[in-house]
Structure 1
Amino acid sequence: MKTNIGIKEENRHAVAAQLVKLLADEYVLYTKTRKAHWNVEGPDFHSMHLFFEAQYRQLDELTDGVAERIRKIGHYAPATLTQLLQLTHLTEATARDNDSFGFLRELLEDHESIIEFLRGKINPFANEFGDLGTSDYITGLMETHEEMAWMIRAHFKK
């Protein structure tokens, strides 16, 4: 059945084209956070293991939310690793030790990259494409990433 939600088809398509990139970024960040959870070593192992677990659980919910938003506006979410790696702005490859600060530094960079991407889409989604719902949704998503980045950044304070 045709999606009739008061947004032109070409506008929904333009928004979905950006949301699939966001979904890919969220999935890659989720996977990298899982990697940190599984592989962190050092004297802070236990606390960091738990910290990364809390973060990947939150990212799992965010990833699902982005995929569902894509479906709500009448498009399909990419769901293969090949598709997601082709769409992401992030890199999955890392070359370093398994210490917490290395993982934290990299994850922080990825959160900040997603924050910048989201911030740049809020007004266009609302003003150019008439999709106030997605604009509002990604505003909240940006705020969640800002909080997650703050929690990571706090580990670097002495």
Structure 2
Amino acid sequence: MGKKSSAVAFSMDIGISDKDRAAIAQGLSRLLADTYTLYLTTHNFHWNVTGPMFNTLHVMFMAQYTELWNAVDPVAERIRALGHVAPGSYAQYGELSSLPDAPAQPPKALEMVRILAHGHEAVARTARSLFPLVSKADDQPTADLLTQRLTVHEQTAWMLRSLLEE
């Protein structure tokens, strides 16, 4: 005779329908993929920046990749709190992310800045696109998370764009 499974299935009722939880988790999975992809690109640029702005950009990129690294966990944990599995592989992130991978050859410093500014804008768009569903589902914790992420990405994009002005 086979062993009986000791796993117990629990139903979930947090006041958000299964359908809405699934859709929100899918959107948050895209946000997680975008955030992780931007983290990796920013860290790559931190390692590979050169030129007269080296010190400024090296330090700035470190602050930015550290913030992004700290952001992935709350997004993944929200997906889990909604009862879904958080994606966690490069293959999944490649499929889910709206951002391109980091360039194989490091670009010049100001091109790095431009790429990162566009990346933060893209992550902001991904976060913002979830608000209609999150609002409809009355999902305040996800709305709060999205608001926090939007604040960071919009401010960072502005600071990066400021470096490109002459």
**TM-score, scaled to structure 2:** 0.87
CA RMSD of aligned residues (A): 1.6
Residue aligned with 1:67, SS: helix
- Alignment match, 1:8: 17
| 2:135 is the alignment partner of 1:131 | no
| 2:114 is the alignment partner of 1:105 | yes
Question: Following the alignment from structure 1 to structure 2, what is the Cα–Cα distance between the partners of residues 2 and 45?
Answer: 53
Q: What do residues 1-23 of structure 1 show as CA deviations (whole Å, max 9, x unaligned)? A: 33321111111001001111111
- Alignment match, 1:28: 37
Question: Which 5+ residue runs of structure 2 have no aligned equivalent?
Answer: 1-9
- Alignment match, 1:17: 26
- Amino-acid identity (%): 38
Give the 4+ runs in structure 1 shifted more than 3 A: 95-98
**Letter of the 2:122 counterpart:** S
Q: Which has the larger radius of gyration?
A: 2
**TM-score, scaled to structure 1:** 0.91
Number of equivalenced pairs? 157
Instruction: Kindly indicate which of the two structures has a greater share of residues assigned to helix.
Output: 1
Report the more deviating stretch, 87-96 or 61-70: 87-96
Question: Which 5+ residue runs of structure 1 have no aligned equivalent?
Answer: none
Report the more deviating stretch, 26-35 or 87-96: 87-96
**Letter of the 2:73 counterpart:** D
Question: Following the alignment from structure 2 to structure 1, what is the Cα–Cα distance between the partners of residues 96 and 117?
Answer: 20
